[in-house]
Amino acid sequence: MDAVVIQAKFKELFGVEGAVYASPGRINLIGEHTDYNGGFVLPGAIDKAMYCAIKPNGTNKVRGYAPDENPEKVSLKSEFGLAEADKPKERWAQYIFGVCREMEKEGKKVPQGFDIIISGDVPLGAGMSSSAALESCVGFALNDIFGLGFDRFQLARIGQSTEHNYVGVKCGIMDQFASCFGKAGSLIRLDCRSLEYEYFPFDPKGYKLVLINTCVAHMLGGEYNERRESCERVVAAIAAKHPEVKLLRDANLDWLKEVSNKVSAVDYIRSEFVIEEIQRLLDTCELLKKGDYEAAGRKMYETHTGLSLKYTVSCPELDFLNETAKKCGVAGSRVMGGGFGGCTINLVKNELYDEFVQRATADYQQQFKITPKIYDVVIGDGARKIEQR
């Protein structure tokens, strides 16, 4: 459902036109498991977004609709108040409610109820952060129509807090940050320690950016927490000699080698990957400034190898797609996200695109009896109001 359709649906339901807003999903070109180690990430907003049409209704109630939801499984409609005790039961509505509540905690109360429809074309469960796009869309819309005065950084924080406190996901800020700060033709290097950011050019003429969804999710319990704990143990060992080290971001490979006999082999190699990945991202940014997408693509392959063999968060399906990309001459390919399933992100020359997609689809289907999903993405702008014609 695009902006025109959602506006028509809003008028059908409420008899008036609402203001329409959009906020995009995101990709991350390189930099995985670096965020909680104080390193960098390199996300960009994409041309797939969550939309909302919205209008104040003069009451103390929110009337929400989610027409994309399956009516056999969840409610299309939710009505709720703005007080803490009014949390709705529908999960999609909890995002809207949470944004309202977090805004009040930041000292800017949503002054009245509103009517809202949400929809979008960010694929669910594909690692493109549809939830962050929804939070950013609702936050941007409420901020604009009620003149609350939040800046984009505050809106990203509000979205992150919504995830923490009303959805139950203890996420970092990268997804909401990319959704709020995205800029067409640019990726954002976000320093996860200081939250300083810088734009780097990403306009790969002659290439396509394509995600291939394995359509699998291997649920491995505490694997994520185990890796965080590995990094923390190594930081503690290094800090015994170098007290200025608070996170792996502060360490280097020489200092890591100094503690090789004080930490387990598993902790060592995981930490080695993180330190290498932080530097790999910095190197990639320099390559993007030069417009060297082939070399940047090779960095993506290095990341996948590290994630697979050192950090061990890949899986057979992801490794298969990565190897297929190599065989097809794709410039760069890697697992995107936390791992254990999800998508590979691929930087593909235009002339190789059709062959790669066809071969990856056919070979993957033959190997795993699953049809992968293909998503072409273009780097686009962040949260915004859609002007009606």
The enclosing H or E element of 218 equals none
- Spacing of C-alpha 210 from chain mean position: 15
Strand, helix or coil at 274?
A: helix
Q: List 333's β-bridge partners, or say none.
A: 346
Burial class (CB in 10 A: 0-12, 13-18, 19+), 206: exposed
What amino acid positions are annotated as catalytic residues?
A: 175
CA atoms within 13 A on the CB side of 65: 15
Q: How far is CA 249 from CA 177, 239, 272, 325, 389, in A?
A: 20, 12, 11, 31, 48
Strands (E), the chain: 19-28, 40-41, 43-56, 61-65, 77-81, 114-120, 186-191, 197-201, 207-217, 332-336, 341-349, 373-377, 384-386
Distance, CA of 330 to CA of 211 (rounded, Å): 13
Residue 239 and residue 246 in contact, taking contact as beta carbons nearer than 8 Å = yes
